[in-house]
Amino acid sequence: MAVLELNDLAKRYNRKVWGVRKMDLEVEDREFIVFLGPSGCGKTTCMRMIAGLEETTRGSINLEGRDITDLPPRDRNISMVFQNYAIWPHMTVFDNIAFSLKLKKMPKEDIRKTVEEVAGMVKIEQLLTRFPGQMSGGQQQRVALARALAVKPKLFLMDEPLSNLDAKLRVVMRTELKAIHQKTGATSIFVTHDQSEAMSMADRIVIMKDGEIIQVGTPEDVYFRSADMFVAGFIGTPPTNFFPVSIRKENDRGYLEHSDFNCPLGSEELGLVSKGGREELVLGIRPEDFKLAAPRKGILNAEVLVVEPQGSHQILAVELAGNIVKIIVSPDQKLAPGDPVSFDFDYKHLHFFDKDSEKRIS
């Protein structure tokens, strides 16, 4: 059963700027949802509407079958951790975590137990008597998480809670947050603009752009079946390479023609891409779907521009028709700038997009 439902949700600030244009979404019980999208696409606005911190302009929000659209924040059974985790500097860690439990008039002994339990979850049980000013950024972040977890919310909202941490700690906290979610099972929405964070944490990713949802799906869905060029170009490091191509038919065979290479198509694929008389499209190829090959006519023959070693693999940049193409190769290929290279493709993993609508052809 859906725990949270957003129906035609929209927010316009000052009757001018659309923060969220339209969002329809159903979140299942115990799900870990990630909102992913570039800066300004409406992630925070949507979270604030769900939490009740921002009035909606249109649409409704249902939590466990109850319409909460106009309910004050404290009556929603939702906890939120903010982008700039505001914890109170004049309170000890214990008091920070205990604060909302005291407001709820929870018995003292239960408060102590709950604080110790959630502090244990985020590994700050040794810091309960400290003040925020005496702790690192990462530790303060954990306090904010513990404080939000302590109220055992029905819905747990986290708006870029790892944004103030250094790269290494972010990756550690990512794993810990996922482990906490598995332990508590609290239905969660997590916001990030880091696609690898989204891929590694989410049950389902909600990809947003300009205040709207572009695609909702598992990490595999959005990676292997990107709904459009925006998603294909946003997900993956490096992202999908795009090539404008024209469709050429010869007898019953088909090819995608680019100024620098030809790509043969199976009859089923040819039928798919040329439907409706389409003559041109955009071919998408992920960096790992190229295969080093002996030079031959028709495949991608180019010159290495830059080599970026990554340890487990290396990224080659080559230039093709004025565009940079990024290709992942194994680390034992010894290549240097200026070397000639040739690539064939993994034909099973080609992505086709309409050149006007930029949507996936499928």
Residues that bind ligand ATP (CB under 6 A): 13-14, 17, 19, 37, 39-45, 193
CA distance 248 to 256: 6
Work out what residue 132 binds among ligand ATP, Mg ion, none; the CB cut-off runs from 5 to 8 Å by kind: none
In this structure, the strands spanning 32-36 and 187-192 are: parallel
Alpha-carbon span 154 to 150, nearest angstrom: 12
**Bridge partners of residue 18, in order along the sequence:** 12
Residue number, 211 or 287, with CB nearest to Mg ion:
211
Give the Cα separation of 282 and 78 in Å (integer).
Answer: 43
- The length of the chain is 362
Nearest residue (CB) to ligand ATP, 57 versus 184 = 57
Tokens 């009556």, located at residue = 75
Residue 40 binds: one of Mg ion, ligand ATP, none (C-beta under 5 to 8 A by kind) = ligand ATP
> What is the nearest approach in angstroms of ligand ATP to the Cβ of residue 295?
44
Q: Which is nearer to Mg ion, 20 or 270 (CB)?
A: 20
**Residue 19 interacting partner from Mg ion, ligand ATP, none (CB closer than 5 to 8 Å by kind):** ligand ATP
Instruction: Give the amino acid at 132.
Output: P
We find the least distance from the C-beta atom of residue 41 to ligand ATP, in angstroms, to be 4
Structure tokens of 284? 């998408």
Give the shortest CB-188-to-ligand ATP separation in angstroms: 17
**For the CA atoms of 304, 308, 314, 317, what is the dihedral angle to 10 degrees?**
-30
Longest CA pairwise span in the chain (Å): 82
> Closest distance between ligand ATP and the C-beta of residue 301, in Å?
40
Nearer to ligand ATP, 44 or 195 (CB): 44
Structure-token pair, residue 80: 């939120």
Of the two residues 39 and 312, which places its CB atom closer to ligand ATP in the complex? 39
Q: Which residue is nearest to Mg ion (CB)?
A: 44
CB of 259 to Mg ion, least distance (A): 41
- Amino acid of residue 227: A
Least distance to Mg ion from the beta carbon of 330, Å? 38
Q: Considering CB distances under 5 to 8 angstroms, the limit depending on partner class, which of ligand ATP, Mg ion, none binds residue 284?
A: none
* Cβ at position 78, least distance to ligand ATP in Å: 17
- CB-nearer residue toward ligand ATP: 37 or 254: 37
Per CB under 5 A, residues contacting Mg ion are 44
Q: Characterize the bridge pairing of strands 32-36 and 204-209.
A: parallel
Q: Which is nearer to Mg ion, 160 or 289 (CB)?
A: 160
Residue 121 CA to residue 133 CA, distance in Å, equals 22
Tokens found for residue 158: 């986290």
* Nearer CB in complex with ligand ATP: 44/56: 44
Minimum CB separation of residue 234 from ligand ATP in Å reads 13
Name 250's Cβ contacts closer than 8 Å, sequence gap at least 6.
none
Relative to beta strand 262-265, strand 280-285 is unpaired
| Type of residue at 311 | G
Residue 39 interface partner, choices ligand ATP, Mg ion, none, CB cut-off 5-8 Å depending on type:
ligand ATP
